[in-house]
Each structure stands twice: as structure tokens, then as C-alpha cells.
Amino acid sequence: MDQIGTHAGYIPENPLDPLYPAVVMTLRDIVSHCEKNGQKFLFETGQETPITLLRLIDDIGKKNTGVNFDPANLLMYGKANPVDALDILGPYILDVHAKDGEYPVNGKKLGVEKPLGQGRVNFPRFIGRLKELGYNGPITIEREISGEQQRKDIIEGIKFLEPLIA
């Protein structure tokens, strides 16, 4: 496995937060360990704003860092419009999830995940912008439910994405 991706947990939005240097140092140690193994370390989008993630990657200062871009997570956590976020994180994108969702409308809950094409991710613009950025890596459909409906949604998701990717 040449890539490891995860949500890194709480990353302070304010770089002057007293916790921020320890987060950077800890993640730099993890990224350095991956580097020794010939692996890239990917931060999955969602729990922090794109600019916070960009700052973190810059502050870690290792060439083996990248982004697993999940457009729905950015919406569902209320952190960014995914198409706009591509302009910030584009050079670091090494993996993409195809997932759709809604912004949160309740201050205590995440936004709702939706089948592809039924949420707020503008997939025609999103895929088009990925192409403009030169991204040609995997686009993995992620549907975080289980059972027969998950299977149906993935099959419909393939049909939805194929003409956009072609």
C-alpha cells in the first residue's frame, strides 16, 4: 500500500492556538514514518476548512503529504463548497471520493449524506474542475449506508458519473 488516508482529528483553525504546534509536530512524525515506508499520507477533507488543511500540509513540510478529497464531507461538516475548495487543495489531491450530501441545518448534527446527484455537490462542475487541474486518479464511490439500498445507490452512482468522467 503506497497511500494511507484518514481524518486527522481536531486541527485548530487558528494557527496561533496553543494546541496547533503539537498537532503539526505529531502529524509530521506520522508523515515522516510513512515517508520511510515509501508511503504518502493523505488527509481526508471535511472536518476542517480547506485553508486550514492547506496550512497544515505546508507546516508539516513533507513532500509525501496529500489530500483524499471528499466533496460531501466538506458540505456535511459545513466547511466549504467543494468546487471552490478544489482551487485551494487542487495540487495536493491524490484520491477522490464520490459522495454527495447537504449542508447541516441543525447546529448539533452533520448534514445528511445523499445518493450521488441528489445532494448539493455540483458533480458536473466538480469533475470538470478536477480534469482542468489534471487529476486522473481514482474516483471511489462512497455511500455510507448498508444493505440493498447501498448497492442500488452505488449502481446508480456509476451511471451518474460515467458520462461526467468520460
Residue 138: pLDDT band (50, 70, 90) is very high
Architecture of domain 3-165: Alpha-Beta Barrel (3.20)
CB count within 10 Å of CB 115 equals 19
Non-local CB neighbours of 2 within 8 Å, separated by 6+ positions: 38, 39, 40
- All structural domains of the chain with their residue ranges: 3-165
pTM of the model: 0.96
Of 100, 86, 75, nearest in space to 161 by CA: 100
DSSP3 helix / strand / coil % (the chain, rounded to 5): 45, 15, 40
Backbone φ and ψ for 91, nearest 5 degrees, come out as: -65, -15
> Tens of pLDDT along 9-37?
889 999 999 999 999 999 999 999 999 99
